[in-house]
Amino acid sequence: MKRSFPFYGFVGLVLLVVSEILHLRKVEPFYSWFYCFAWWSYILTVDAVIYRIKRNSLILNRTKEFFLMIPWSIFIWLIFEGANISLRNWYYVNIPPSLAERWLGYAVAYGTVLPGLFETTELLEAIGLFKNARVRRVQFSLPAHVGLVFLGVLCLVSSLFIPLYFFPLIWVGFIFLLDPVNNWLRGRSLLRDLEEGNPRKIYLLLIAGLNCGFLWEFWNYWAQSKWIYTVPFFQETKGFEMPCLGFLGFPPFAVQAYVMYNTLSLFRCYRGWEQSSYRLNLKDKTSVTTRILTAVLIVSFSVLVFRTIDLNTVDSYAPRLSDAYWIPPLYRNELPRVGITSLDDLVSKTKDKNERDELALRLLVPKEELISWVEKAQLVSLKGLGIENLRLLQEVGIDSVAALSTEDPSQLRNRITHTYEGRPWPSLSKLRIWIQEARKAVKHIQ
């Protein structure tokens, strides 16, 4: 029988192309939320391909599980966002200033994590990758299970309390902590796969994690609202925004996400997202009280961590022309009338001397003053530095990309901490990123 390709697969492909084009043209909401559009396009397309191959997919045949997976995806990823308060491994820039838009964006973005990983895993499985993979059977005793759980606790605790050296362990800790529990309680377990000599699921998850990691970083790199890494020791060589060695964390993270979701299935009568476990114990129902309490838990935890992200992880909001305090209000109101509707426009439309001269003449403003406006706009746009950080740098005498490029990170930090004694200031790793980007920008201009 001829196998169809679901309509939403074409929608995903078209949406991806359209979002790419509109993002490059800086059309909202594609400019700010390109990452979300790209990932949901990918999920729709991959699910359609899976259905085309084997006539069974998450969206069409396990629809309830697919939609249930989204809030759990948000919940699971927020555990790591909470951990990042201690780790300080990434921060967000150019986030929309509207609370409602921002929090909706968080939910839509974090809701792609599990669907993206699991759809990719199922696609690899559907095309027959590692179909005949076998390893020698291993038996895990009760002491081995206990030892693995202890190792998991050690990984998580050390990563949170000594993050400078043990931060990578956050991406494996839950594997050791939870999978032995899943195995002991007869749930879906990767340890049981190894006991049966079947490593296929582990291999598929590792490859899926690497694939998704590449796409996470690729699409994040081009996005307006994005994350920046401040991972210790590995900032020199990067693939997109990620230090190259950091890509090694994506494969175990995929395994970890799978294990965490399997643990959740223990409380759902062992039902899961895979074709083999989706219809398990259908006669057993989760009580209404449990469902309500679960919904309250997810919503409460999400609100708490969203607020924590706003206070600790968001470093800058998307700069608006109306926020450009260094431009007198009269000219801020006049700029849109001459075709300058954003700070990006101010920078891009004044690159040439003739363009600057013409704009200065149209606004009846001295050329030197216009150049000062542009230099500050360039600094605001540098690696998502933002309006508030510009204020901070101006207080210590830095008001252009060129001036920032001449600074030494440690000396600059000392000046900032002395000026802002008793108040929060940028970390040394963040200052290094700004100065490094400023030097690149100056070198490019030269």
Q: What is the pLDDT of residues 106-128, one digit of tens each?
A: 999 999 999 999 999 999 999 99
How far is 292 from 273, CA to CA, in rounded Å? 21
- What average pLDDT does range 285-303 have in this prediction? 93
**105 and 33 Cβ atoms separated by less than 8 Å:** yes
**298 and 74 Cβ atoms separated by less than 8 Å:** yes
**pLDDT above 60: residue 427:** yes
If DSSP codes are grouped into helix, strand and coil, which group holds residue 24?
Answer: helix
pLDDT tens digits for 151-189?
A: 999 999 999 999 999 999 999 999 999 999 999 999 999
Q: What is the DSSP letter of 314?
A: B
Longest dimension (CA), the chain: 81
Q: 191 CB contacts (<8 Å, ≥6 apart)? A: 140, 145, 148, 179, 180, 182, 183
- What average pLDDT does range 21-27 have in this prediction? 93
Q: What is the b/e burial string over 94-106, where b = at least 16 CB atoms within 10 angstroms of the residue's CB? A: bbbeeeeebbebb
**159 and 83 Cβ atoms separated by less than 8 Å:** yes
**pLDDT above 80: residue 423:** no
* Lowest mean pLDDT, pick from 70-79, 157-166, 284-293: 284-293
Long-range Cβ contacts of 184-189 (<8 Å, 24+ apart): 184/145, 185/266, 186/270, 187/262, 187/263, 187/265, 187/266, 187/270, 188/262, 188/265, 188/270, 188/272, 188/274, 188/277, 189/262
**353 and 390 Cβ atoms separated by less than 8 Å:** no
Q: Mutual orientation of helices 34-54 and 113-126 as an angle, nearest 10°?
A: 30
| Backbone Cα Rg of the chain | 25
pLDDT tens digits for 180-196?
A: 999 999 999 999 999 99
Joined together, the tokens standing for residue 381 give 């746009």
- What are the distances in angstroms from CA 341 to CA 142, 378, 386? 66, 15, 17
**407 and 398 Cβ atoms separated by less than 8 Å:** yes
**pLDDT above 50: residue 1:** no
Burial of 288 (0-12, 13-18, 19+ CB in 10 A): exposed
Return the percent helix, strand and coil in the chain, to nearest 5.
70, 5, 30
**pLDDT above 70: residue 26:** yes
- What average pLDDT does range 294-299 have in this prediction? 96
**400 and 378 Cβ atoms separated by less than 8 Å:** yes
Q: How many residues does the chain have?
A: 446
pLDDT for position 3: 63
- What average pLDDT does range 378-406 have in this prediction? 96
* Lowest mean pLDDT, pick from 71-80, 277-286, 406-415, 417-426: 417-426
pLDDT band (50, 70, 90) for residue 446: low
More confident residue, 236 or 48: 48
Token look-up 């994690």 returns: 209
N- to C-terminal Cα distance for the chain?
Answer: 63
How far is 379 from 219, CA to CA, in rounded Å? 23
Joined together, the tokens standing for residue 373 give 């406006």
pLDDT for position 415: 93
User: In 96-193, which ranges are E strands?
Assistant: none
Backbone dihedral region for residue 389 (phi beyond 0: left; psi -120 to 50: alpha; all else: beta): alpha
> Kind of pairing, strands 90-93 and 226-229?
antiparallel
pLDDT tens digits for 329-372?
A: 999 999 999 999 999 999 999 999 999 999 999 999 999 999 99
